[in-house]
Amino acid sequence: MGKSLKLIIESLLFASDKPLTTADIHSCLPDVDMGEIKSALRVLQYEYEAFGRSFGLKEVAGGYQFRSHPEYGPYILKMLQSSPPKLSKAAMETLAVIAYKQPILRQEIERLRGVDVGGVLRNLLEKGLIRIMGRKNLPGRPLVYGTTKKFLEVFDLKDIDSLPKLKEIKTLGTQEDETMEISKQSAQAERPNQETAEESL
């Protein structure tokens, strides 16, 4: 091959508007061994990390895509002069339930959230964050919901297994509570000292 394989793959990644899988790349380079493609991708990942660029090559939604580092997000948003579409609290809660419990029925989501989610599900379907995976073999053949590749892209996840474990989230909340309690106790401990100092003046 006349051109460097690494540079050809790099050009494909830059030109694509979605993450490219190794199969996608191989379809453009059928004469190249899949192992060589994977090796070139690893080299690209290492080089962008080593060069300290504003972006890197990340595994997202089962493929590879160049992603700007989060600290440069505000500048990019300013350039685009628009805010990213935000999800309501209800939509985020419903999306979280689907992400962690999929495949899941609407009735199961409503039982967990305690409210009707019909409108929220339509909104998430329109945004392409969830999909209908099929129907369950129950009376009425209810629809089964799950997340999409776009969900992985939006939340910068390699795959669904990359979601934070629920145990980790609970531990984080406990640690924050403990930190707040320690800060509160420290403030209370300092107050008598401050009062004593004021009395001595």
- Do 41 and 49 form a contact (C-beta atoms < 8 A)? no
Return the pLDDT at 108. 94
Q: Residues of the chain with pLDDT > 90: what percent? A: 48
- Exposure of 68 in the CB half-sphere (CA atoms within 13 A): 8
- pLDDT value at 192 more than 90: no
Pull the structure tokens for residue 50.
């080593």
**38 vs 172: which has the higher pLDDT:** 38
Confirm whether pTM is higher than 0.85.
no
Pull the structure tokens for residue 113.
């959230």
**196 vs 155: which has the higher pLDDT:** 155
> Given pLDDT bands bounded at 50, 70 and 90, which one contains residue 10?
very high
- Residue 44, φ and ψ in degrees, nearest 5: -60, -45
Query: Rounded CA gap, 166 and 30, in Å?
Result: 42
Question: Please, which residues have CB within 8 angstroms of residue 36's CB and are 6 or more apart in sequence?
Answer: 5
Pull the structure tokens for residue 178.
């403990």
- pLDDT value at 65 more than 70: yes
Query: Using one digit for the tens of pLDDT, what is the confidence trace for 100-149?
Result: 999 999 999 999 999 999 999 999 999 999 999 999 998 889 999 999 98
Query: Rounded CA gap, 117 and 121, in Å?
Result: 6
User: Domains of the chain (ranges plus CATH)?
Assistant: 5-70 (1.10.10.10), 89-160 (1.10.10.10)
Q: Give mean pLDDT, residues 21-40.
A: 94
